[in-house]
A and B are shown apart, each in its own frame.
Chain A
Amino acid sequence: MEDDAPVIYGLEFQARALTPQTAETDAIRFLVGTQSLKYDNQIHIIDFDDENNIINKNVLLHQVGEIWHISTSPADRGVLATCYNKPSDSKVLTCAAVWRMPKELEPGSHESPDDSSSTAHSLELLCHLDDTAHGSTACVTWEPTGDGKKVISLADNHILLWDLQESSGQAVLASSASLEGKGQLKFTSGRWSPHHAGTQVATASDTTVRGWDTRSMSQIYCIENAHGQLVRDLDFNPNKQYYLASCGDDCKVKFWDTRNVTEPVKTLEEHSHWVWSIRYNHSHDQLVLTGSSDSRVILSNMVSISSEPFGHLVDDDDLSDQEERRPEEKSQEPPRDGVIATYEEHEDSVYAADWSSADPWLFASLSYDGRLVINRVPRALKYHILL
């Protein structure tokens, strides 16, 4: 168990959608949605047993179409949202819906017999986030701190705020806004900020990153030409409220302070192709995970712009033995920004990579060929951060 070897899990289909189960804080669990035009698509619920290095999977059928994006409710472990392609004859339309897992697959009933994994369960539809007038949905993001009732979906050039009403099984469009401009403006990605009492959302469209206030649905800030080419993903620093990371087709990862949008705080250029996914570690925001279509996952240490720029802060009233240890800590070289590790287990483009919500030292990445790889932060670094 003590080795850092990656754990690999293979899916039968192409896959792009990966998310940790956000509401789950005990078990390490990831959800993966497949993409297949010819077969029934599936959602794989992957439980990782950290102690035994074993993966348990459960499969849910997702018959309505191939999954482009998946996200889980921060409040209810059983609730998730997907963006999926609805097959039709002449047009491809991406819809979004909120689902509930079958009860027996919820963590509470974890001890359900393993052989049941062969029998696929179905999802229970809670509601559609559909408004055909608004076009294809690219992404659904949940209010991070709320009760799981508020959802924002990005459809073409519209940003839609939904109110989920479980009782009636309906989602009510609370408010919306849309991008106006020449050309076909389309949102590619969006994240809901964990700060500011959940009133801010950031979206990416083409080369621009925009911030929105969910109360008035108006634009707060706009980073024009955040990347030279398309912006693929973005993420908020969970511990520093104005900090935002973005990645895109110019192979770069940029860190922004949204109060000053003219210049990025920092730029990384480690990938050799488009960067599709970027995620801050939930607890230690110096750890940044990026996945790219050069088939690599890179873990970077951005300690200089993290919330712990000088390493772990030792409280004054800590134990005396820690006091004694302090000089030697100081003698250590301060950690520098840079790549911690490059993971090359994938052989196809990596479209998604994310941290576990339960274990801050563990992350999963998913490549197009259906390979899911679970890795850990290098032990030395982990201890360095902790001690």
Chain B
Amino acid sequence: MAAGAAGPGPGSGPGDSPEGPEAEAPERRRKAHGMLKLYYGLSEGETAGRPPGSDPLDPTDLNGAHFDPEVYLDKLRRECPLAQLMDSETDMVRQIRALDSDMQTLVYENYNKFISATDTIRKMKNDFRKMEDEMDRLATNMAVITDFSARISATLQDRHERITKLAGVHALLRKLQFLFELPSCLTKCVELGAYGQAVRYQGRARAVLQQYQHLPSFRAIQDDCQVITARLAQQLRQRFREGGSGAPEQAECVELLLALGEPAEELCAEFLEHARGRLEAELRSLEAELGPSPPAPDVLEFTDHGGSGFVGGLCQVASAYQELFAAQGPAGAEKLAAFARELGGRYFALVERRLAQEQGSGDNSLLVRALDRFHRRLRAPGALLAAAGLAEAATEIVERVARERLGHHLQGLRAAFLGCLTDVRQALAAPRLAGKEGPGLAELLANVASSILSHIKASLAAVHLFTAKEVSFSNKPYFRGEFCSQGVREGLIVGFIRSMCQTAQSFCDSPGEKGGATPPALLLLLSRLCLDYETATISYILTLTDEQFLVQDQSPVTPVSTLCAEARETARRLLTHYVKVQGLVISQMLRKSVETRDWLSTLEPRNVRAVMKRVVEDTTAIDVQVGLLYEEGVRKAQSSDSSKRTFSVYSSSRQQGRYAPSYTPSAPMDTNLLSNIQKLFSERIDVFSPVEFNKVSVLTGIIKISLKTLLECVRLRTFGRFGLQQVQVDCHFLQLYLWRFVADEELVHLLLDEVVASAALRCPDPVPMEPSVVEVICERG
């Protein structure tokens, strides 16, 4: 409105001086424009469509803000030719005229608008004046209304207060009525058995009664209530004590009693006492099942029964207790834990007794299933009652049973091994009666080996049930680690192999060294068995075990090599013992033959003595026996016809060499010298030396022992001429037959030479037999 009012002022300017200097009009217009623009917040540069390059300060710019007509004219005059001047003058005149007309039309238009605006304002002035009057009237009316309202309020105030008071009295009266009715209500509830309702009522009323007990009437009500409550409590307890109803009802009773404010401690003890009664009954029934004599139900049934009866009951008790007596805090929890521990302990004792009965049986799967159920069942109370350690105890029992099972299996394997040995003994004894010796030794060995292996596999399979995935306790650390490595691998398998070695070795130490209670064939067979174990079976069994029981335990286990070494040592000892026993048999024969004969007065030899033939026969038999189980072995390369060859060497040249000094009475020293020189070139013979695992070595050992015995016996006797000759014949005979058995036939020659030489020394009249005659006799015999 103010702008509108100011507008006509400058607008009238151009109208006043339409013929003013041409330069002045645009300037003023521009001034007015600038002010307007200033008012509308537009910058000057934005409105003008000025060419961009022109200088806004240029005083010669007609449209510029700093236009200076004088400068402009001067410039025109100075610069332009006349014609152009003229043109610009006409142009200028034309522009001025156009501008004037524009201005005139603008003035007219604005003038009209101004007039209508003035009219409007005048009308408004009138209207406002009317409105002011009406507003005044309204104000007076409002004042009257306010006045009235205040008056009404003042009059109603009194009534309102009275109504409020009456409502309060009403509520109070209702409460009082409830209180007065409470005793009868409670009685009714108690009669109807709605104990819960009764306890709720009582709970609501208790605080009020407590507060107003100094008033006699309330006191009376309170007394009544207390009497009824006491009765209620008594009834509840009665119900609780009767105990016939199940655990949930009991829990309810206890809950109500707690709400009645009965002492929690006492209740909790009583609750546990009741629970104990019930659980003990369960235990008794379990114990009855155990029974001293009647046929116990199978272990699975037993654990099922125990699981559903006792463990289920315990679970219920525990959860109810924890719900009811949560307020009791750690002391209460401790009480429950102790309770669970005690009863759990008794339950475990029963279970263990039952499981102990199971130890003898062979059925592992049933036992494992029973253990699984037992363990699974105890998880729930275990979770509820972590403090009672039931789950741990259960795991412990399972572990113990597993350990005992391992022991049982080890025992079983040992028994199986011993059984095999007994079978072998019988098998060995039987054919002997039939007159044949050692047939089927290889089959016997195969039988023993396969039977033991199958036993081991069966045991492994049985024990493997303990670690099956679906069994609840298989993921316990014991079953993942120690059970596999220490229990199965070390305890069962390694333990068995060790005990097998020990059993076998015990045959070597048997006191009956004369012949011995152990048949030599058994020694041989065991030795081969141990050797087979060393080469293949042990590593096979252990690999099998490791595969079946993925051993994750880091505890050290016996390496295969140690076991193999033990088995090899056992095999070696057995074979050495075999050699000793067989050597002893033959050497006893030889000894008897030397000791019992009267060598001085014997006749000229016609035959090889029977005992020598027997020796050769026995050696051949042993050779066959050993050949059944052991490989041939290597012997020193000799010509195939060595018996012939060595015979000539032995009986002619060497014999002369050995015997000659004995005959020559001139030089007693020579005997020593020659025999000593001879010994320098022969190696010392270790008679009872350890043997290798092949036939030749075994036979060599036996023959060495026999011949050394012969030598020592010969040295203890004195020979007549024919006695010496008999020894000569015998030795040649042995030579003919024994060389083929030994690794180095030179050894046989050496020992037999020694025998003959010793016999010659022990003969006062040594006249050796002609080699050709010896040969003839031997070939005939």
Contacts and interface: CB of A to CB of B under 8 A. Distances in A.
A229 B587 CA distance: 11
Nearest to A11: B672
Given A36-B668, A349-B712, 9 more contacts: A14-B761, A37-B762, A37-B763, A38-B662, A85-B718, A272-B686, A272-B689, A344-B684, A347-B680
B600 A228 contact: no
Interface in B498-534: 511, 513-514
B715 A368 contact: yes
A293 B714 CA distance: 13
A370 B668 CA distance: 12
B548 interface: no
B672 A92 contact: no
A228 B514 contact: yes
Contact of B684 (A37, A295, A368, A369): A295
A13 B718 contact: no
B556 to A, nearest CB: 29
Q: Which 3 pairs, one residue from A and one from B, show the smallest C-beta to C-beta distance?
A: A228-B513, A37-B764, A273-B687
Contact of B668 (A12, A92, A293, A369): A12
7 contacts: A12-B671, A37-B718, A38-B662, A38-B665, A38-B764, A89-B600, A349-B715
Interface string A88-128: 01111000000000000000000000000000000000000
A348 interface: yes
A257 interface: no
B689 A370 contact: no
Contacts of A250: 513
A248 to B, nearest CB: 11
B712 A370 contact: no
A39 B513 CA distance: 41
A68 to B, nearest CB: 9
A87 interface: yes
Interface of A: 10-14, 36-39, 85, 87, 89-92, 207, 225, 228-229, 250-251, 272-274, 293-295, 344, 347-349, 368-370
Nearest to A351: B715
Given A37-B764, A38-B764, A91 B600 contact: yes
B2 to A, nearest CB: 126
A90 B600 contact: yes
A369 B665 contact: no
Interface string B668-699: 11011001100110001011110000000000
Interface residues of B, number: 30
B516 to A, nearest CB: 9
Nearest to A37: B764
A272 B763 contact: no
Interface in B573-590: 584
A347 B675 CA distance: 10
B601 interface: yes
Nearest to A90: B601
A293 B764 contact: no
A273 B688 contact: yes
Contact of B675 (A228, A293, A294, A369): A369
B712 A274 contact: yes
Given A92-B600, A229-B513, A294-B687, A10 B763 contact: no
B206 interface: no
B237 interface: no
Contacts of A12: 668-669, 671-672
A347 B686 CA distance: 12
A189 to B, nearest CB: 13
Contact of B584 (A89, A229, A272, A348): A229
Contacts of A92: 600, 717-718
Nearest to A269: B688
Contacts of A294: 686-688
B708 interface: yes
Contacts of A347: 676, 679-680, 684
A338 to B, nearest CB: 19
A294 B687 CA distance: 7
Contacts of B763: 37
A293 B688 contact: no
A65 to B, nearest CB: 10
A14 B680 CA distance: 18
A36 B662 CA distance: 11
A272 B662 CA distance: 30
